A and B are shown apart, each in its own frame.
Chain A
Amino acid sequence: MTYKILAKRNLAHKMTMFEVDAPEIAAKAKPGQFLIVIARTGSERIPLTICDFDAQKGTVTFAFHEVGKSTKELATFAEGDVLLNVTGPLGNPSEIGCFGRVLCVGGGIMVAPLLLQVKAMKAAGNEVTTVLGCRSGEFLFMKKEAMALSDEVLVASDDGTAGETGMDFLRDLLACKMFDRCVVMGPVLMMRSVCEITRPFNIPTVVTLTPIMIDGMGMCGVCRVTVNGKMLFGCVDGPEFDGHQTNFDELVKRQRTMLPEERLSSIMWESGGGCKCERK
């Protein structure tokens, strides 16, 4: 297995998409599942959601946002480079069915994998409204793809430079239109606010949780989350959970447990002091 990067695409500032040669994974992948990407010997195991797969071509696609050392380093890989390992597909596939009218809300980099769900939901016969969330207009990407896949596309940005300002407009949308299901993928705080908006309307809301992970296969327990009062593992019980039952406060705290170390690592990388001896 080589895990060669066949295509690299820049989605927006610090947001990159890779299409990687991985025929066995491509043959088994389903929407909602994720990969663990290991760039080189000594790298972290980075969990990234599958954005697309092509069993015929034998490729899988994933997208990532440069937030820390590992993702910054990954972004330095070019077309033709080979990754040490890609493990997957991991986690449970999304529940795809004919629900009726589905609202798919994406935020930041997670818009890319959300579109795979949009595609699957549409193919299952749903009427799909897609919301593309971004920090500001310059971070908006894949709008064309979204329009081709969905019945309706709405845009929202944190600062109002593209489309609606924030996600509050969803309240008005839900008040005048009935939805049978809501799928949310994005930063934790955004997923939490969308869940608070859908809760009074009793719309089943599925969120993709991104706790810190290491093995991604149920061995370490670092990905534990509390859903409906129960301790569950993000990697084997998820990554999708009922957003109305998720303890987001705990998730936010657990995501931040290694913050000082992550900062150190990132600063060292930026300043060129990180270990690059074996790069690639």
Chain B
Amino acid sequence: MPKRRPEERVKNFDEVALGYTEEMAVEEARRCLQCKNPQCRKGCPVEVPIPQFIDCIVKGNYAEGIATIKSKNALPAVCGRVCPQEEQCQKMCIKGKKGDPISIGRLERYLADWEGRNGGQVPERVPSTGKKVAVIGAGPGGLTAAADLVKMGHDVTLFEALHVAGGVLSYGIPEFRLPKDIVKREVEYVQSLGVDLRLGNLIGRIHNIPELFAMGYDAMFICSGAGLPQWTGCPGENLGGIYSANEFLIRVNLMKAYSFPTEDTPIRIGKHVVVIGGGNVAIDCARISMRLGATVCLNYRRSRNELPARREEIENAEEEGLMCKFLSAPVEFYGDERGWVRSMRCTCMELTEPDESGRQSVQPIACSDFEIPADTVIIAIGQTPNPIIQRTTEGLRTNPRNGTIVVDADGRTNLEGVYAGGDVSTGAATVISAMGAGKRAARSIHEYLMNGTARGDGSFTGK
């Protein structure tokens, strides 16, 4: 797929990958074998009918193609861009056994962008069931569940704490990987289905779960994500210039600080940025920092082989000038007289023998400390679930180790009528897994509302 040149793209926030032309899309679609028993589909967490939509591309039936995808996936323009396809649908594609798998994600993106240019269709509303569902959190999981539930005829209110919907798609993943216009379009699509979106509603504070039942909601789906930043615990962490990945991302993506002072929220970035961590979030922070004009060094405590970020993104980042320091962990941060970070001390790490599960752990090497200059530090070592709902819902079962909400395979929590899914129940995962959870929960909520005993009296008791 065509990409913009690294020298050019590192100067702005425009999208890096340009997408297929029509000829390229058709040519790629023709390579598909139209398998009778398509393995690719098993690799997709939401079971997109892959060979069917690819066939539509071959035949030039783009409108039918996008409708085919949308029967299973409410956010194709997003998934086509940010799904880790190499781990999912494309990993299972038969063509990948010898040679390259079909570029399923790129074809999906092609159709979604085609629809964006040509205008989409909104399915007709089905007769109302008279049941009310509250969906909490307008990230990919919540948007998917809301879309599915409203299509089943339920009355859906989607509560979002921030003033913009989209969850991580809006505040986390940067513009140059996922343009915000696309997220906006997908959100508008979900609203056009009839979902009532309420922005600036922090559930737990404005209404809590029992109050929502009292307000007449028959069931609810909690999809509030994993947005609580984790810290290193090293001395000096509260110095100026030390950002959590979330602060950095929210400033830049949600509040558009890269356009400061045209936009009101600022970001301060120095010359030597150190990003601590090695996942997708760390790579995104590093690539943003380079676009803001800094030299960036990624500090990861394991080695290159263990980097959890997507290969494609690591390569993109290195093309753009990212430096990496592997097997290194922070020990302490030092500041100047005004309380701004100036340097940091790190220690070298070594990998230990693999344990039974095969995973190697790391340990510090004695007397190996070194100091590096750092006038901005971004800590991207993981997130845990937002705790407000858990704290304000008595009896809701959570995992004491990491604060995730405990659910069964259908997304049921221990409380009747209360479902959960996405990052809040799995810990930080992927867009498509959150959407899969949204789909499953929508199905079981429907089941519960239509066949189970929906509580109409507003009472609230844990099972």
Binding site for B on A (CB under 8 A): 1, 24-25, 28, 33, 36, 38, 42-45, 69-70, 84-90, 214-215, 217-222, 224, 226, 231, 236, 250, 253-254, 256-258, 260-262, 264-265, 268, 274-275
Contact = CB atoms under 8 A, between A and B. Distances in A.
Interface of B: 161-163, 198-202, 205-207, 227-229, 231, 237-238, 240-241, 243-244, 246-247, 250-251, 255-256, 260-266, 268, 338-340, 386-388
Contact of A89 (B205, B229, B251): B205
A253 B238 CA distance: 10
A253 B240 CA distance: 8
Contacts of A24: 201, 206-207
Given A217-B202, A236-B388, 13 more contacts: A25-B206, A28-B205, A84-B163, A87-B202, A88-B202, A90-B202, A214-B265, A218-B227, A218-B388, A226-B238, A257-B340, A258-B266, A265-B260
28 contacts: A1-B200, A25-B206, A28-B205, A28-B207, A33-B205, A38-B163, A42-B256, A44-B264, A44-B265, A69-B264, A86-B200, A88-B206, A214-B255, A214-B265, A215-B162, A217-B202, A218-B386, A220-B250, A222-B244, A222-B247, A224-B238, A254-B339, A256-B240, A256-B338, A257-B268, A258-B266, A258-B268, A265-B261
Contacts of B243: 222
Contacts of B200: 1, 36, 38, 85-87
Contacts of B387: 218, 236
Contact of A219 (B205, B229, B240, B260): B229
A221 B268 CA distance: 16
B338 to A, nearest CB: 7
Contacts of A236: 387-388
B271 to A, nearest CB: 15
Contact of B386 (A1, A217, A260): A217
Contacts of A89: 205-206
Given A38-B163, A214-B250, A231 B229 contact: no
A215 B207 CA distance: 18
Nearest to B160: A87
Interface centre among B251, B265, B387 (most CB of A within 10 A): B265
Contacts of B228: 218-219
Contact of A221 (B202, B240, B246, B266): B246
A42 B240 CA distance: 24
Contact of A44 (B201, B255, B338, B340): B255
Contacts of B264: 42-44, 69-70, 265
A77 B261 CA distance: 20
